Structure 1
Amino acid sequence: MNLGDEFPNFTANTTIGEIKFHDWLGDSWGVFFSHPADFTPVCTTELARVVKLYPEFVKRNVKPIALSCDTVDSHNKWIEDLKVFAEYSGDGFPYPIISDEGRDLACQLNMLDPDEKDKDGIPLTARAVFIIDSKKKMRLSLLYPATVGRNFDEILRVLDALMLTDKHKVATPVDWKPGQAVMIQPTVSDDEAKKLFPIMTVVALPSGNKYIRQTNV
């Protein structure tokens, strides 16, 4: 898949029952993230981290959903470990985990790690992240090897950046965090920029080109 493509409307068994992905997503954004296996150390830290960050996803109208190549029964047993590790005392579990025993989704979405194999020599599912917007379009993809854990603070940062740049004609600079200055897009003329962004700073550069235009939104 390429950025901007419609994300597959797959049907899957999950810890909340069978879902049709687009129906489950509704008008929310989604974060789809995959894992090599249940009851593994790095995966446990990641799913527990999403439990702790779940209120941040809700605040942004984003639904997280995980995938692991084990059964729903295995997922449900693993959830008890995840809740303890995440120090979560609520009822149930905040988000669903997809069962992909046959690696059908892992193959469809090209998420297999050829260098990491299970005890039977079958490639493990890599640590993929897909961000899907409310129009079911894929807006971001990340692919980590099975041995490297993800940074979910970065995923939240990217969500904030995507939603901000959808709303305004701006781009976020390196290491941007919410509340910091953003860059006015080069496609915006100076006259339009003055109307859209009354408070604007133009950085003087040796080239004389006034392409670094900063503002706050």
Structure 2
Amino acid sequence: MKFACVSADSAPVTIVVEDSGAGVAADLLPRIFDLFSQGERTLDRSKGGLGIGLSLVRKLVEMHEDSIHIESAGPGCGTTVRITFPRLNRQDEVPGIAEKRAPVSAPRNALKILIVDDNRDAADSLSLVCQSEGHVTRTCYDPEEAIQQALTFQPDVALLDIGLPRMDGYQLAGRLRAKGRKIPILVAITGYGQAEDRLKAQAAGFDRHFVKPVDINALLDLLVACG
């Protein structure tokens, strides 16, 4: 069963959604908003997703200067989701609001980002995250397609999954960036994070190496630095 309620005072509006479902394990709660983070799944994969949805939800909530928190007493004990929004007021209702309004920040430099992953949902979701920061993306699900797209798109950054069909991410990296060139900046996104994996990525020409579940904030910080 699910229950929802909304409350408000002079400042925030709070939406609380509770259910009596599967709940969340204590060890998963601290990283539940991490990209690609998942709990235990059944063999038939009847429950659980890609570990992308909650990361996108938090990103969208934070874009509106809001906050989201998830609580659970554990497996089988249900889950509580609490989202807090700042309450909007008309300017004539709040004297001096014009003086208190924060200055508009300077626009960030938009990057052209090529995203390559044979998992379509993962690629599309990562594309949405990058677009939410004002970047322009081109998404490919096949390495050969990525090579063709790179010729016309001319990406500044390439986010490459390593475990691709027919041509792995290491080989694709070599095809996307000619020897001696610095563009595109190559970022490996992989499930393998041992020291030898990082060395192999470095030898293939990758500039950065992210292990799934990806720290989305660290990735976005990298894109800011690249801009």
Shorter-chain TM-score range: under 0.3
TM-score, scaled to structure 1: 0.23
TM-score, scaled to structure 2: 0.22
